[in-house]
Amino acid sequence: MDEESSGTVKKFAFINRKAPYGTIYALESLEVVLISAAFDQDVSLVFMDDGVYQLKKGQGTKAVGMKNFSPTYRALEGYDIEKLYVEKESLESRGLTEEDLIVDVEVLTAEEMATLMDEQDVVMSF
């Protein structure tokens, strides 16, 4: 982005707020996240609002004829992307708990999430 950015590590957050199959946002975000892993930046993934549905266990897309990309979230660890955050209120208001999610995440309150977002150098919105 600017001259001084080469070689320095920046804080990137990907904000995921959409459910997985109704729109292309979730899959597009995941693709960008995987590519961004090659640049060795400090990457955080945030799941809030309907974005928490992306991590729901037990997705099966055979009958709808779309690719089930939920297993790919489990590959993120191998890509050294280990900071996954879920907003508490979004999870609870959808009747979900951490147990329902396909990967280990850190659950944050709205307040904590707001602080996390504020600290980022770059925010990518999906």
Partner 1 sequence: MGFEINGKTYETDEEGYLVNLSEWDEEAAKYLAVEEKVDLTDSHWEVINFLREYYNDYQIAPAVRVLTKAIGKKLGPEKGNSKYLYELFPYGPAKQACKIAGLPKPTGCI
Partner 2 sequence: MLHIVNKSPSERNALDSCLRMAKKGSTILLIEDAVYAVTKGSTAESKMKAAMAKDIHVYALWPDLEARGMQDTVIDGIKQVDYPGFVDLVADNKNVQSWL
Interface contacts to partner 2, rule CB under 8 A: 15, 17-18, 25, 48-49, 89, 110, 113-115, 117-118, 120-123, 125-126
- Shortest gap between Cβ of 69 and partner 1 (angstroms)? 6
Q: Which does 48 bind (CB under 5 to 8 A by kind): partner 1, partner 2, none?
A: partner 2
CB nearer partner 1, residue 24 or residue 114: 24
* Site for partner 1, rule CB under 8 A: 31, 34-35, 37-38, 67-69, 71-72, 74-75, 78-79
**Long-range contacts (CB closer than 8 Å, 24 or more residues apart) made by 47-50:** 47/16, 47/84, 47/85, 47/86, 47/87, 47/90, 47/105, 48/15, 48/16, 48/17, 48/86, 48/87, 48/90, 48/113, 49/17, 49/18, 49/87, 49/90, 50/17, 50/18, 50/19, 50/90, 50/94
- Shortest gap between Cβ of 65 and partner 2 (angstroms)? 26
Determine contact, residues 116/44, Cβ cutoff 8 Å.
Answer: yes
Name residue 122's amino acid. Answer: V
- Shortest gap between Cβ of 47 and partner 2 (angstroms)? 12
Q: Which does 62 bind (CB under 5 to 8 A by kind): partner 2, partner 1, none?
A: none
CB nearer partner 2, residue 10 or residue 57: 10
